[in-house]
Amino acid sequence: MTSIHDQAMNYVYQQVLQRLLGFFSRAERTALQLLIQRLAVAAGGMERIGDYKVLAIQSGARDNCYTLALLRAAQLTIATRAPATFQLRIASLRLNGTSGAAVENMHRTNSALFVYDDPRVEMLMVDDREVLPFNHLTPISDAARESSRLNLLMIGHRREWRGGFDLWDDGYLATGEFYGQIARWDGGVDALLISDTPRQQKQFIDGLKRAATKAGLAPSHAGEAGFAGLFALLDELGSDCYQAFYADYGQARWRPQERFETCRRTACIDIHDLLVSNLEERWTLLTEFLGFQPDELSAQISDNEFVSPSISAHVRGLHASFVQGRDYGAGVAQYLQHALVKMRRKHLPERLCEQAKEVFGNPATLNEQRARAAAEAQKDLGLSEAQLVCLLFSPFIEKGEGLERFLRQCHPGMLVAMPELHRAMQGHPVAEQIMQWMMDVSGLPVGLIGQLYRMEWTPGSDNETPEALIQRAALQEAVGDPDAGITLVDEWKAGH
């Protein structure tokens, strides 16, 4: 690279920084200086900052794009003051639940921040455990889509059928494994930047431990709170969190294998306390500078980052209809009530509440909404409505203890074939029609159903008494969680 080219690029970076700072409030400029100080201390002084590498996870969500803008501002600001600035690795994970809109938001943010051509920035994505250069035009591979689908089902089925709605726990396990692997790829990184609130950190760690338990691992309940203990926990879990499911079935290995470091030396830098501005103050930066295109409703009512609100509402409806013997609409109404309480506790605009009511609370469009959600689940998760219902019943675990209940409620015509179904799950040969039915209704190969058959239930996150829920809500309230306790007791009552 010639000196003329270097000068030209430095001028471009300075222009990007000046435009970016133009969108910052006074409080955000103060937060930027504090972030720079925090990074310098972590690196061991500004004179060592050029050898320091920071990992930022990219999801395309609103707050994630904002955090990346603040981090990029820190990188470019240091470059104007010191001989060198820190290296930045930006990485994203391709899962079935990742929307095209999120990937487009990633690309627009990257373009606005001018990171694609900056040699101080690595842009990576992981698809089916393979580390690749980031490309927003590349869709998730067929292999990754199938692996993600199977992982979701295997983890999701390891729940007691009367338990909570922790059906999507695989997202926590896949993301945790991704954090651990991308942090040690190609020389590793020094630090993972964290902007999640303490509540969000606790939710992730709890979900990761719950999913790891379902995958046959034994995560420790000790260690530091939040993400401070993340990498110690990931070391416990190892590099293949799904081995108990696929030991004899085969799964892609992390690759290119020779480019992974043996050990991790990664710390976490928590900056949630530096994100000072509210949503209204960030909006101009997000939309005008980063080109962020929001789905406001989904961002505000989603109770799980790994599945969309429409699928969540759909599953509530299916649970009410098939498991509880109520009406599909009653389950969707329960989901809507959950969302509205959450939104009003956050003092969100009433127009968003009205939009939620229109989407999920209009009886005239309920059938249409159900059809759209079913189509979305099939397209994004690879799961039919019948397979979602099967997942709700978890009929294969504990030697098929819940099989008769599932058949009686959903497939009474198959009750006569129950002995053959048990034989198939035990590994004995049965008629081809029986095996095909099992695969169609579950979405799983018979061999993996047999794996579940030999496993035990694991307790879900919602199997708590009202007293325990109240205590947990009070604890969340104490740490300043605006969502604290808004639905926990109501959900327990609704499900019992």
Q: Are 442 and 449 in contact (CB under 8 A)?
A: yes
Q: Is the pLDDT of residue 465 over 70?
A: no
Higher pLDDT: 178 or 459? It is: 178
For CA atoms 353, 300, 100, 371, the dihedral sign is: negative
pLDDT of residue 491: 40
CA dist., res. 85 & res. 95, Å (int): 32
Q: What is the mean pLDDT of residues 237-250?
A: 86
Report the side by side order of strands in the sheet with 87-93: 130-133, 121-127, 87-93, 53-57, 191-194, 267-270
Could you tell me the pTM of the whole model? Answer: 0.89
pLDDT of residue 269: 96
Q: Is the pLDDT of residue 352 over 90?
A: no
Closest C-alpha among 112, 105, 274, 252 to residue 177: 252
| pLDDT tens digit sequence for 115-171 | 999 999 999 999 999 999 999 999 999 999 999 999 999 999 998 777 677 899 999
Tally Cβ neighbours within 10 Å of residue 163: 17
Percent of the chain with pLDDT over 90: 70
Percent of the chain with pLDDT over 70: 90
pLDDT of residue 264: 65
Q: What is the mean pLDDT of residues 263-291?
A: 85
Assign 87 to helix, strand or coil. strand
Higher pLDDT: 398 or 350? It is: 398
Structure tokens at 329: 């609409």
pLDDT of residue 99: 84
- Using alpha carbons, list the distances in angstroms from residue 389 to 143, 153, 161, 383, 410: 25, 12, 11, 10, 8
pLDDT of residue 460: 57
Task: Give Dmax over CA atoms of the chain in angstroms.
Answer: 80
